[in-house]
Each structure stands twice: as structure tokens, then as C-alpha cells.
Chains A and B, each alone.
Chain A
């Protein structure tokens, strides 16, 4: 395999609040190749956004990337890079698309100005050039009448249009990597599909790598080739998308699959994983999924599972990899046995 574009190694991002330490991201590793789309999926609070922000080193106090973490990008470790060099990378080599296009845009500047600002910071042309490039990008993202739209303010655009603006902003410098943190969650279903299509289309055009963060396996199916499943600040499974859908190994991934809305099934019968993500200040010992898992046994309580190799392209943080017989007799998960409300 060739050198990956980005490789995150043992990333730990902890929030030091008072006497508690929230280990939001706790030893995450993955890598993305050139032109590849890697999906990260997991429930709310499992550390997806903090992982994304860590890559651009945008985690604010009291959050801190702990020593021992490495984020290798184009031969540089972003964790230790000096601030000026880091700023050169942001928006230029690595850019980000956020979930909520309204709050991600500054209400007091025109959208054209906000897109052009990226080019002004990183480009060498004049203000005029930057503006023209911004208009061109807005047009590429499918915004009709981009020249007029560029002069409008965020509140004058629809949600879908705003997200296109954010995409234009992210792609204007033709970055090597775009991190899309739930880029469609805030949008209507029909608009969601359009935006995903646009992203995939632009990716092919520019050869950009995408880190697609979502809690929706459907989005992964449509965009990614490989997927990392996160739970409690850790990677619990990594596989090719096809493998994951055909033969997910980790019980948490299985749970996510069951929770996926099926077109054939009425929405009311949506299965959710019982229980909820524990607090990041207090991860359970042993397997962090233990209380919610239908297969757990004594070893799961005693021993924190490592990432077992299922196949050369498939890993899973579950003891079932070495003791598969426990899958044969599922039981109600502990949270249900204890009568904890779901």
C-alpha cells in the first residue's frame, strides 16, 4: 500500500474540566488514502466531531490533544506543527464542512465574501481574483445566479443553498482532504440526496479525499468505500463498506445496522440499541459496549478488547473474534436486565 494521505495514530483528545477528565477521543487510529472517502459512523457523543476538530487542531480549551497522539499529513505531524504552518493547512490543504450551515456561516458577511476570504488568505491574487474564484466555485456547487447570490447574506439563502456555500468554501483551494462533519443532517431528505451527490461528483472531479462523518449508515453506503465505526471515543470496527454491510462483526455495528430505517419497514418499527452512550468522564472498564451488548460474558467485563484482525482489511474490537461461540446464545443486554429505561 502506498503512503496514506492522512494517518491518525493513537489520537487522544481529552477535556480537562475541573476534577473530571472527559476522554472524548481515546486512542483512535485510522488512515485515508488519496482520493478515498472514509466514513466515520457512530452514535451521538461517541467522539466523531472531536476527532474531526482534532485533525485541524481546532479543539478549544479545556480540550487538549494528549501527548503520544500523532496526526501525519503529507509528511508532517499536525499535532506538533507550529501555529503559522497549521493555519496554512486549514482551508487550504484540509478543509471542513460543518453540520449546521446556518450557524456555520457568519451572519454579518455576504456568502461570496466568506467564500472569497479563503482564497484571499491562501491565494496570491487580488481581492477581485478571489471574488471571481468564489463566484466560480458557487456556480460549480450548483447555485443558480451565483453572481447575485454571492452578494447575499446567509439568512437570505435556503438551507440547501447555504450548505452549497460551505462546500464551495471547503473546495475553493482544491484541498487534498475535506472533512465533512454530518454535512446533510440538518437538511431535508430530498436536499440531503442532492448534497451527497454533489459532494461525490466534486470529489471525482478534483480527486479530493473525504472524511465523511455521520451517524447515518445510509450516508456511508452512498459515499464511502471504507468505514470506521466509533464507540465511546474508540474505533470498534473498521472494514470495507461492502464487508461491513454484508458481515459486520462488532455487536455495536450490528446494532447500528438494525437501527437503520428500512424502506420496506414502517418507521415505527425502528430498532434502537438499548441504553445510551456512557459519559466520557467515566468509560466502563473492560468492553465499553458491555452493558448494551446481547452477547457479553465474563471476559468482556474483565478485559478491554484490543482491535482483533478479522481479515487483512477488517478489524473489530470484540472478544467474539477469538471466542465466536458466544454469539450463539444472545441474552437481553444488561441495561435491560437492570431495568434501566431505554
Chain B
């Protein structure tokens, strides 16, 4: 097991370094740069732009820039964000926890709700309940993210103003609140974006989980369980679910990076100060250091997601556990 983990981690490091390298060159070779007229104020003279490029080393040969970048990253310095005029690390320190908060709630709720819905459907397969849940989840499944976010706002922030319309805290009162009420304030602001994401994700999870449960139910060992006198509810929840989790675990591994990379449209609609917005901004402004940091974080999370999925497979399927 330890050997396996070390091997996987070594693989992950190689992948992240490769991705970072390729991304570095692609980003720098793409047309434009942080000080191009399309990005910066077009009235700034070409001489000033040249000065900035010189100051940030952007006029040096690309391989040299790359070596300098790697050197500074290994020292723990992720560089300076041109667009926000702050250290990249500071930007991340602000945005990452916000995204982590929103996404961990949304993902946990989505998988719990999605699996629960699928079990309910499969227990009553073919019934009206099954068909209604399938219909509704198909609806959410095919709804664009921003549209759903807007609908949630219209309904629960505007028509029935139960929750705040956006942001993460109340800009006026938050700083004057006591510690408990600060938490309540954040929680109230989290509800709508988390709800939007949960409606979207749980629909996907429910569809996957239902299909894979229905795949497993005709298995012979399910007939064996029925022949033992196991009640149908236990058949589905215990005997079938454990075998039907694998596709959903794969889905979880794929969703894992979103924990830190966030969800662009939902963050935008709800003005949630998270990574999704930071990443979009860094692309718009050709903010090389910030964009590179996002790429590195993203690729670390992608490899971590696949490792987490693998460990979960092993936890749920003893046949994989006994392979070296």
C-alpha cells in the first residue's frame, strides 16, 4: 500500500510538472501579453509598455523566463499579479478558502442527495416517483448554469427575498457583527450559490447512480440475496449500491478539482469572491503568474482527484485491494 501510494505520488509530481511546463509555453506563446493594447489602457504609449515588459522580464527569451519562473516557484514565490497588483500568493490566500467553502458544501450535498434520489427511484423503478425524479433531474441536467443561478435569484432573493442576492458577506453590517453572527451571515450568503450548484450536480449524480444500480440489479448475486430473504430495500442499499458506486466514484474524482477551481458562472452571478472569477480574470488580462498558479493548482487537484477515486475504488471493491 505504501509502495503504491509513493508510486502514485511520484506519477502525480511528474504530471503536474509536465502540465505546468506545457502551460507556461502555451500561455506565453499565445498572442498578446499583459501589456498589450487590447488589455491595458490603449492610450499608454508603446515606450511605456516596453518599459513594463523590461521591468517584468517579459522581453527576455522564453527559456530564460521559464527557468526564472521555476526557480522562484521552488522558492515558494508564485510571482506578482499584474492585473491585481498584489502577490499571487495573497490573491490565492483570499480566494481559495471562499471556493473551498462553497464547493465542499455543494459537492457533499450533491453526492448525498444524488445517491439518495437514485436509491429512491430504483426502489420504485417504473413508478410515477421514478419518472418524476428522472424528468426533473433531466431538466436540471440540461439547464445552463448561469440560467439556473438567475432563476434561483429571481425566486429566492427577489420574488421571495429570503436570502441575500450575492456576495459572501453583508458589505454594510458584517464588520460590526459578533463572531457567531458573522458565521450566520456567511451561511446565509452561501445558501443560494450552494443550492444552485447542488441542483445541477445532484441531477448528474442521480442519473449516473440510477443507471449503475439498474446495471447491477440483474446480477446473479442479487438473485442470491433475494433467495436468502433479504428485503428489497436492503438489496438496493446494501447489496447493489456497494457494487454500483464505482461509476459515481469516477464522477467524484472528476468533480474533485472543482473544490479549488470553483464554478465560474455561479461565482459570477452571485458575486462570490472565489477562484472561478480569479481564473477568468487572469485569462482576460493575460496575467501570466496568476494564470500559471491556477494551472498548477488545477493540475494538482486533477491528479489528486484521480488518486482519491482510486483509493475509494479500493475501499469499496476488495478485488482491487488485493491486487498489488
Contact = CB atoms under 8 A, between A and B. Distances in A.
Nearest to A90: B229
Interface string B214-228: 000011110111111
Contacts of A105: 221, 224
Contacts of A153: 318-319, 322
Contacts of A103: 219-221
A92 B228 CA distance: 7
A95 B220 CA distance: 15
A100 B231 CA distance: 23
Interface string A86-117: 01111110011010100111111100000001
A255 B155 CA distance: 76
Nearest to B225: A106
B318 A60 contact: no
A121 interface: yes
Query: Do most interface residues of chain B lie in helix, strand or loop, or is the interface mixed?
Result: helix
A104 B220 contact: yes
Given A98-B223, A106-B224, A155 B322 contact: yes
A319 B219 CA distance: 42
A89 B226 CA distance: 11
Given A98-B220, A98-B224, A106 B243 contact: yes
A162 to B, nearest CB: 11
A254 B226 CA distance: 37
Interface residues of A, number: 30
Contacts of A117: 225, 228, 230
B227 A88 contact: no
B316 A108 contact: yes
Contact of B223 (A58, A109, A118): A58
Interface of B: 218-221, 223-231, 239, 242-243, 316-319, 322
Given A98-B224, A105-B221, A106-B224, 16 more contacts: A56-B226, A58-B226, A58-B227, A87-B231, A90-B227, A90-B228, A104-B220, A106-B221, A107-B221, A107-B243, A107-B317, A107-B319, A108-B242, A108-B318, A117-B228, A118-B229
5 contacts: A53-B223, A103-B221, A108-B317, A122-B229, A155-B322
